[in-house]
Amino acid sequence: MELNERMKTILSAVVHRYITTAEPVSSAIIAEKYNLDLSTATIRHEMYLLEKNDYLWQPHTSSGRIPTDKGYRFYVDNLVVKNYLEDWNDCDNLCTHAVGALVSAYPGLAGRIVKWTEHKKFIVRRAAAVAFIFPVKRGEFHKTAFDIAGRLMYDENDIVRKGYGWMLKSLSESDREAVFKYVMRNKKIMPRTALRYAIEKLPREMRVKCIKKMEDKMKKTAVMCCLLCVFSFSGLYAEKASVINKEGSPYELSLNAEAGFVSVLSHSIKFGEDGTAFDYVKEGGQGVLFPFNRFTAELRLFDVHSLVFIYQPLEIVSVITAERPLQFYDTSFYEGDVMDVKYGFSFYRASYLWYFLKEGKNELGIGLSLQIRNASIYFKSAKGSYGMVTENVGPVPILKLAGKYHFENGFWAAVDADGFYASSEFFNGADYFFTGAIWDISSRIGIELDNGISPYLNLRWLGGGGEGTSQSEDAQGDGYTKNWLSTFSLTLGVDFK
C-alpha cells in the first residue's frame, strides 16, 4: 500500500512523539499536539490503516500505538529527508534530538543514515553527521562516526564540514584519544573548518599538535634553502681560504646539501598479475609538489680519483579516497574507501669516479656506483584495520658519468648521470628474473666563491622501476610486481670545500 500525504504526516507525528516520550501515542495526543486540522476520529482511522500495513503496532487494545521497524525505516528514508531537512535550523533541531535518539534506540537504522552522505542536497549530507551527535556522546557508533567523517572529508560545502567537525567534537567527549589520532592522521587533507570544530574540546597539548601545519616539511625545506643561501653568499665577504681543506693537500673533502621540491611526472604500480594498475599521480595524491633533499660527501684523491657517498630520502605519503575498486595482491579496497598511501624509495649510493680528462678545472669522469635501495610501500585503510605492505632492501649496480666546466667569471656548469638497465637477477639485485632500470640525471649551474663555498641551482630527472615475478616462498600473492616512477626536481644546493 502506498501511503498518502495524510498518512505520512500522521506517521511522522507518531514517530516524533514516541521518540520524545517513549510512550504509546494516541490519536487524541496527535490531534492536540500537532495541529493537523484533522478530527480525532480521522486520525484514529489513519493510524488503524498504518497498523494494518505494519507501520505502527498497538501493544495493548486500549493503548496508543508505537512505530514498527518498517515505520522507522520509512520515516528515515522518506519523511525526514523530504519533509523536514530544508535548512540549517531544521536539520540540527531534528537530527540532534529526534533522529539521534531514534538511531541510538534502533542501531539498525544507522546504515540508512550513512547513505545520506551521498545525497545531492548539502543539508541532508550535514544531517548524516549531525544525526550521530546524540549517540556518540553516549559512547555509541564510534566507527560509524569516523566512516561518515571520511565520506564527507572532501565535501565542498562549509556547512557540511562544520557538521562532521561538530560530530567529531561530540565524539571527543567520550573518546578523545580516538579523535586525536584520527585528526592527526588526516590533518593534511582535513578542511580547516572541520578540524577546528573537531579539536575544540581536546586538551590544549593535543590541539597544538593537531593545528600544527602539515606544510611543516615544506617550511623546513624553505628554511634550509634560505640557510644555504646565507652560508653560500657569506663567502663573498670571507677571506680567500677553504672552509674545510688545507691548500696543497693530496686529498680534498667536499660536503654537499640540496633542498627544494620534487614533482612526480608519472608513476604507476601493479601488485599481482590480476591486480589493479594504479596511477599514483591521478589516483594516489602525487599530483602536487613534495619536499626534496639530498646529502652528498665526496673525497677527491690526487685530483683524479673520487669517492662519492649519497643519501637520498624519498618518501611520499598521502590520504586518498578510492575512486574505483582496487586490488593489490590479496588486499581489496572498494570505491569510496579512505586510504593511507605511502611510497618510500630512499636510497644510499657509493660511487667511484676516474676523471680521465682534465684541463685546468674542467673535467670529465666515468665510474661505477653501488646503490642500496630501501623501499617501503603500503596501501592501508584509513582506520588501519587492513592493508598491503611491502618492504625491500637490496643492492643495485650503476654506471656513472660526471663532467664540470668553469667559466672565466667564476660561474660553472656541471652534469651528473647515473643509470642502468638490466634484465638479469644478478645485475639488478633481485633473487629472481627481473627487468629493472634506474636513472638519475642532473644539470646544475653555480658560482665558486673565494672561501670554497659554491651555491648552485640544480635540475634533476630521477626515476626507475622494474617488472618481474618473485619466486620466494615469502612472496605475497603471485609475487608479480610492476613499478615505474619518473620525477623532476628543482633544488638549491651548496658545496662546502
pLDDT of residue 215: 46
Q: Helix, strand or coil for residue 56?
A: strand
Integer Cα distance of 289 and 281 in angstroms: 11
Integer Cα distance of 211 and 189 in angstroms: 12
pLDDT of residue 156: 80
Q: Helix, strand or coil for residue 471?
A: coil
User: Cα torsion for 297, 301, 304, 307, to the nearest 10°?
Assistant: -30
Q: Do domains 5-211 and 238-496 have the same CATH topology?
A: no
Query: pLDDT tens digits for the chain (497 residues)?
Result: 677 878 888 887 887 777 667 788 888 888 888 778 888 888 888 888 888 888 888 877 667 888 787 777 777 666 565 555 555 565 676 777 667 777 777 787 788 888 888 888 888 888 889 889 888 888 888 888 998 898 888 888 888 888 899 999 999 988 889 899 888 888 777 888 888 889 988 988 888 888 765 445 445 555 555 555 555 455 444 455 566 777 778 888 999 999 999 999 999 999 999 999 999 999 888 888 889 999 999 999 998 999 999 999 988 888 888 888 999 988 888 887 788 888 998 899 999 999 999 998 899 999 999 998 888 898 887 765 577 888 888 888 899 999 999 998 889 999 999 998 876 554 444 555 678 889 999 999 999 887 778 999 999 999 998 888 887 766 778 889 999 999 999 999 999 88
Q: Domain residues of the chain, as ranges?
A: 5-211, 238-496
Integer Cα distance of 347 and 341 in angstroms: 19
Check residue 465 and give left, alpha or beta (phi > 0: left; psi -120 to 50: alpha).
left
Q: Which residue has the cell 677553504?
A: 242
Contact of 96 with 107, CB cutoff 8 Å: no
Integer Cα distance of 14 and 72 in angstroms: 10
Q: Does domain 238-496 have CATH number 2.60.40?
A: no
pLDDT of residue 428: 46
Task: Write out the CATH class of domain 5-211.
Answer: mainly alpha
Question: What are the residues facing 309 on neighbouring strands?
Answer: 297, 350
User: Cα torsion for 364, 366, 370, 373, to the nearest 10°?
Assistant: 60
Contact of 295 with 327, CB cutoff 8 Å: no
Give the cell for residue 422.
Answer: 638490466
Contact of 264 with 280, CB cutoff 8 Å: yes
Q: Helix, strand or coil for residue 273?
A: coil
Nearest to 367 by CA among 307, 438, 442: 307
Give the cell for residue 199.
Answer: 579539536
pLDDT of residue 237: 47
Give the cell for residue 448.
Answer: 665558486
pLDDT of residue 214: 44
- DSSP assignment string, 419-456: EEEE-SHHHHS-SS-EEEEEEEEEEEEEE--TTSEEEE
- DSSP assignment string, 295-336: EEEEEEETTTEEEEEEEE--EEEEEEE-SS-EEETTEEE-TT
